[in-house]
Structure formats: structure tokens, C-alpha cells
A and B are shown apart, each in its own frame.
Chain A
Amino acid sequence: MNGLLHQIASGIASGAIYASVALALVMIYQATHHVNFAQGEMATLSTFVALTLIHAGVPFWGAFVLTILLSFALGVVVERILMRPMMNAPVLSSVGVFIGLLLVINALDGWIFGFTIKSFPSPFHAAHPLLGGYVSPHEIGETGLTVFVLLLVWLFFRYTTLGLAMRAAAYNPVSARLCGVRVNRMLGLGWGLAAAIGAAAGIMVAPVVFLDPNMMSGILLYAFAGALLGGIDNPLGAVIGGFVVGVLENLFGAYVVGTELKLTVALMIIVAVLLARPAGLFGRAVQSRV
């Protein structure tokens, strides 16, 4: 029973990370109908930047905020330079550009920051074991912070005018323009936001999995599984899907397939979703009457 609780708690902690990356993926997918295969690499780059700032003496939370802002800017720039020209290109072209971006950023990380595995400090410490010792202080803090970030994003989209305009631009760019929304600018903002969310996820996960250029490739896979499970066009679904995948990964890894095969759990989830319910748990065709 102890083991089970621990696995579930750990699963929720990892799930929070997958949920964030899944949200970033779904945001970009909704707006552009493209999957950002480079999402993980962008997050890794952000994490390296954060580590550099920390080593340079910037206090943790200062580095965190600064990195988030820089990542936002990176997202806006990438959208403007690489994605905007690919808007109307065939799917293969945009996939090629995304994969190309993945490779370039990965190579850049290795070249600038080195390939050796680095440790990343956690800002969460506790003098005594918390919550009965089932979860580490970092897991608690990371889950809390990530959920907080997700909540902020939700509030932003649901209740602010800018958030509404971004949603409109994603759902129906033509009509959005007819309301005076500058759709291209919204796309850039969406990319920036996705990059910022990814950066937060990267900084939160690095203390656990250690930082190297390939840190996020497994995580990206789990995020995909989560996004598909929740419904690739449903942000809330993606978040829930991310948490579910986290828990499933841990449970299956502990009791069924062993830790060596945890990545295949993601593959199995993806195949299962596609076989049973391709729209995901919460993805829905929008109800409409003609």
C-alpha cells in the first residue's frame, strides 16, 4: 500500500510536468494545426539558460522569471522567422522545419553548454519529511508550482480579453480578423506562451532527471501521449491527460513492465487511444447545427 501511494504521488508529480508540455503542444496545435516537435528542445534550451544564470549568481526565482521571459521572446521569434512562412506550406514542409529546429537546438545545446550531464538545483527543501514521506519536498513544490502556472494560464484564456482574442484566432482566424484581431500577432503570443510554459516545466523537472541536451525527449513523448489521451484539440483535456499518463507510467513501470520499459508505456497508451477512441477522452467534435 505504501508503495502504491508513493507511485501514485510520484506519478502526479511527473504528470504535472507532462501536463504542462502537453498544454504547450495543444496550444500550438489549436492555433496552427501543426505539432511542435521541437517543444522539448526549446524547453531544454531554456533550462540550460536558467542554469547558466544560476551559476552566474542570480538567485533561483530571479533566474526562473528571467528565463520565462527570455523563453517567451524565443517563442515569438521562432514563430515569426520559421513558422509564419510555413503557414500555408504542405504538412511535410512544416514537419521538416520542426524536426530541423529540434536538431539545431539540440546541437546548439551540446555545443554551447556541453554534453555532460549536469545537476540542477531545486528550490524546494524541507527540514522534515512531509506528507508522511511519500513524496519528496521537490515533488510537492514542483507539483504545486506547475499547477499554479496551469491555473494562471487557464484564467488568462478564460477571463481576459487578450486570452479570448487568442482563442478566437486559433478557432477561426478569418472571423477573428473581421473582429479586428491581429491574428498573426496572436500566433506569436501563443508561441511565446507555449515556450514559456515549456521552460517552466523544464526547470521543474531538471533537478529530478538531470540536465543534458536530451533531457526532454522522453518527456516530450509522454506529453504527446497525454495530449492524445486528453484530446489533441482540448487544452483542459491535455492537462488531465498529462496527469493520467504520469500516474500510469509510474504504476506500469513499477508493477507491470519494469522501469526499463517505461517509455514503451507511452507508445502503448498512444496506440491504445488511437485504436479505442481517437478523439481522446475529452476531445469532441464541436456540436453545431447548420
Chain B
Amino acid sequence: MPPLLEARGLTAGYGETDVLHGIDFAVEQGGVTALLGANGAGKTTALRALCGMIRRGGEIAFAGARIDRAATEDIVRRGVGHVPDGRGTFMELTVEENLRLGAYTRRDRAGVAADMARVFDYFPRLKERLRQQAGTLSGGEQQMLAIARALLVKPRLLLLDEPSFGLAPLIVRDIFHILRRINTEERMSILVVEQNASLALDLADHAYLLETGRIVVSGTAEAIRRDEAVRRSYLGY
């Protein structure tokens, strides 16, 4: 089966400077791919480039169609859900309104209701806080809200930007369990960007390692996990 998402020669940057210097990576149908690397390696930039949020060059194919010229909202409408770094929560709106916005593009009332139920199953705390202003949620709850919102888009591909950032280890563990469930129960393809390499490698099938805008290592998560040299020099453990 061809990969769901394929990037070839992807470049991207801010202003005059390029952060990504032509990288290739792919996400298989139903698979989990991890993009690893230190701060400033370009991981967040890669996700933003995929969604058209910054200037980019090169080829990006999603479900066989080229999206490297498309606008963010059109890419989302094709089935890409993006959980951005910093959560991207609508602070002034309630939890419920945040979730409704996730389902903004959908016309199937019954499907949305079913997805809402599933989302509350993953994240019961959100149901308790439905009427609460999203800005008053804790960091972990906001992360759950961000993931829930992206799930309501009913994407084929879920992008997650540093889901562990700034969260207590227990909460991170819970979230990654849920990501595993989402992948296995819903066959959702996932591309996760993480600084916490061991967490990401536990979840992923494939992984790429970014260093200053280039891919330096790629392979199955299993192989990278077992490669002591790579772990020690790039992943710090």
C-alpha cells in the first residue's frame, strides 16, 4: 500500500532563513511515525510546513494528491488533523465550543455525536468541564482538548506537535496510552513530533531523526531503539 503521506525534498523556513533543507519522510496507512530531534532541529517546522502554515517548497503528497500549494484550511478539509505545539486552544471559548469547532467542517450530525461520545470516553475530564472556559483548564486538560478537537475533524492523519511538552509524566503516560488506542482502535495514521525520544519510539513503527534541518537517521522504531550508538549520540539515553 502506498504511504498515506509522503514528503520529498521538503524545504521550509521563516523570513529569509531556511530551517528545513530538503527532507524526505513518509507515514504509512494506519502506521505511527515519529519525528525526533533536539530543539531547533526543525521538527515543528516540518509539521507546520505540511499544513501550509509557513512558506515551504518541495513535494508533499497526501492520499495520492499534492498538497504543497494548498491552504491550511483546505489541507485540514482533506483529512489532516493537527494538534499544534502550545495546544492552540481557543482560550476565550468554552470546552464545548472548542470541540464544536473541531467538527466545523462536518455535515454528518450522527457521526459527530458518535465521535463526541468516543472523545469523552478517551477523555472523561473534558465532559466534566464542558461549560468551562478553556483558558482555565490545566496544561494536561488543554492537551486532551487539543487532541479531542483534532479527532473531531475525523482526520485520516493525525499530526501531533510535542504532546508531552510541559506536562507531568503521569499525564503524558496517559496521553500516549490514548494515542496508542486511537491508532489501534480507529486505524488512525499518526505523525508525532517529540523531544522525548523513548516515549515516541515506544509508540511509533517508523522514526526519523532530524538534525539542523536534515534527516540523519531513519528506520523502524525497533531498529533505532536497539541501536545503542544512535541512542547515545542523538537521543541521549
CA distance A171 to B91 in the complex (A): 8
B76 adjacent to A287 (CB under 8 Å): no
State which of A61-69, A172-180, A210-218, A265-273 sits at the interface with chain B. A172-180
Interface size class of B (residues with CB under 8 A): 20 to 34
Given A167-B93, A181-B73, A290-B139, decide whether A176 and B101 contact each other with a Cβ distance below 8 A. Answer: yes
B135 and A287: CB pair below 8 A? yes
CB of B39 closer than 8 Å to a CB of A = no
Q: Are A180 and B84 touching (Cβ within 8 A)? A: no
Task: Report which of B72, B91, B92 forms a contact with A178, defined as CB distance below 8 A.
Answer: B72
Does B136 lie within 8 Å of A287, measured CB to CB?
yes
Closest to B52 in A: A177
B88 touches A175 (CB 8 A): yes
Query: Is there a chain B Cβ closer than 8 Å to A164's Cβ?
Result: yes
- A179 and B91 contacting across the interface, CB-CB below 8 Å: no
Known contacts A172-B90, A174-B53; is-contact A179 B104 (Cβ 8 Å): yes
What does the 1/0 interface line of A149-185 toward B look like (CB < 8 Å)?
A: 0000000000001001101100110111111111100
Contact residues in A for B139 (Cβ distance below 8 Å): 289-290
For chain A residues 4-31, which have a beta carbon within 8 Å of chain B?
Answer: none
B89 interfacial by beta-carbon distance below 8 Å: yes
Q: In the bound complex, do residue B101 and residue A165 qualify as a contact, i.e. CB atoms below 8 Å apart? A: yes
Contacts of A176 in B (CB 8 A): 101
Quick one: given A168-B93, A174-B53, are A180 and B105 in contact (CB under 8 Å)? yes
Knowing A164-B100, A287-B135 are in contact, say whether A178-B90 is a contact too (CB < 8 A): no
A177-B71, A180-B77, A288-B91 given. 7 additional CB < 8 A pairs? A167-B92, A172-B88, A178-B150, A179-B101, A182-B73, A288-B135, A289-B136
Residue positions of B touching A, CB distance < 8 A: 51, 53, 71-73, 76-77, 81-82, 84, 88-93, 97, 100-102, 104-105, 133, 135-139, 149-150, 153, 166
